[in-house]
Homo-oligomer: A and B are copies of this chain.
Amino acid sequence: MTQAADWLQTSIMETRGLTRGRSGTTHELTPERQGTYHYTIGPYSEPVLTVQPGDRVTFWTQDCFEGRIRDEADLPSQVLEMPFINPQCGPVLVEGVEKGDVLAVHIESMSPWGENPRGTCCLVPEFGGLTGTTHTATLNEPLPEVVRKIHLDQEHVYWSDRVTLPYRPHVGTISCSPEIDSINALTPDQHGGNMDMPDICPGNIVYLPAKVPGGRFFIGDCHACQGEGEVCGVAVEYPSITTLRFDVIKGWTIAWPRLEAEDFLMTIGSARPLEDAMRIAYRELVFWLVNDYGFDTWDAYMLLSQCGQAKLGNFVDPKYTIGAAVTKGYLAA
């Protein structure tokens, strides 16, 4: 399940990464080895693993509720204890990573673990896109706390008698550590974090700005599928076995996470209001075209106005996430 696609050989990761695509050791971070999870992403926690560039790590992630929602009678307000939510595996150190480098992360595979119904969706009070929230504060009665337990396998998500969805796994929360902040695992920002971007999926490569030695990598919050925007605030949350391969790129400093797929490049911004996430993502994409592909600034700006793609991650988290993407074919010199 970890067969490399051909295009990887021409990816930024393999052409600019230290290992030039050579694989190293594979590590397994089981729940036992992880021990306790982390609810903030920062420089103050103890590393659980140190790996070399080129190494693979298989993470056994918990779902974002840490398995506390076992059946449809487990109401979020009763079984969850804020702010201890969205447990993160890690931190993992990648040797040789320094502040100003890029940590390249190839998502090789994602499969579920645990017994069915191992998927969970629910409505959490004052959280979500179509409700008053703790910040878009209203005096309306909160929505009901509806819980859905869902069967899923590597092909499908069995949503209801009526609807079966494809299994489209992706990583909700993925990060290097910020330099001095320790940010709760619900919030996306420049370090990555809770971006809830469906394109952070098997086959694609995430590029994360490193701010501290070793990068201090965290991962959690995997989704069996999710719509654009994650409108109710919750995807089909599930416990995953996710295998990643790491590399480090020297001499490439980026301000925000980026992503590479076979066909497109993407920059990712997280902010409120949503248009600021958009502005960040598109400006980073202009910079990328100018700095790495030889475009003139105004040509890049006007060209993206004709062919840029916008991918909405979420508009429910403490910051909202949007990716701006461009087809690789337009970048050839």
Contacts and interface: CB of A to CB of B under 8 A. Distances in A.
A279 B129 contact: yes
Interface string A222-241: 00011111111111100000
Interface in A133-159: 134-144, 146, 148, 157, 159
A77 interface: no
Interface of A: 39-40, 42, 44, 83-84, 121-123, 128-132, 134-144, 146, 148, 157, 159-160, 162-163, 165, 179-184, 225-236, 255, 269, 271-276, 278-280, 282-284, 286, 297-299, 301-310, 312, 315, 320, 324, 330, 332-333
Contact of A272 (B144, B226, B273, B280): B273
Q: Tell me how many chains of this kind the complex includes.
A: 4
A180 B83 CA distance: 8
Given A121-B305, A140-B132, A228 B310 contact: yes
A170 to B, nearest CB: 12
Contact of A231 (B40, B181, B301, B333): B301
- Most B CB within 10 A of own CB, among A39, A121, A273: A273
A226 B306 contact: yes
Interface of chain A, helix or strand or loop or mixed?
loop
B136 A276 contact: yes
B286 A139 contact: yes
B228 A159 contact: no
A301 B180 contact: no
A330 B121 CA distance: 18
A131 B140 contact: yes
A309 B278 contact: no
The 7 closest A-B pairs by CB, nearest first: A273-B273, A227-B308, A140-B140, A274-B274, A232-B305, A182-B182, A228-B310
B225 A279 contact: no
Contacts of A179: 83
Contact of A182 (B40, B278, B283): B40
A284 B312 CA distance: 18
B306 A276 contact: no
A90 to B, nearest CB: 16
Contact of A304 (B144, B231, B301): B231
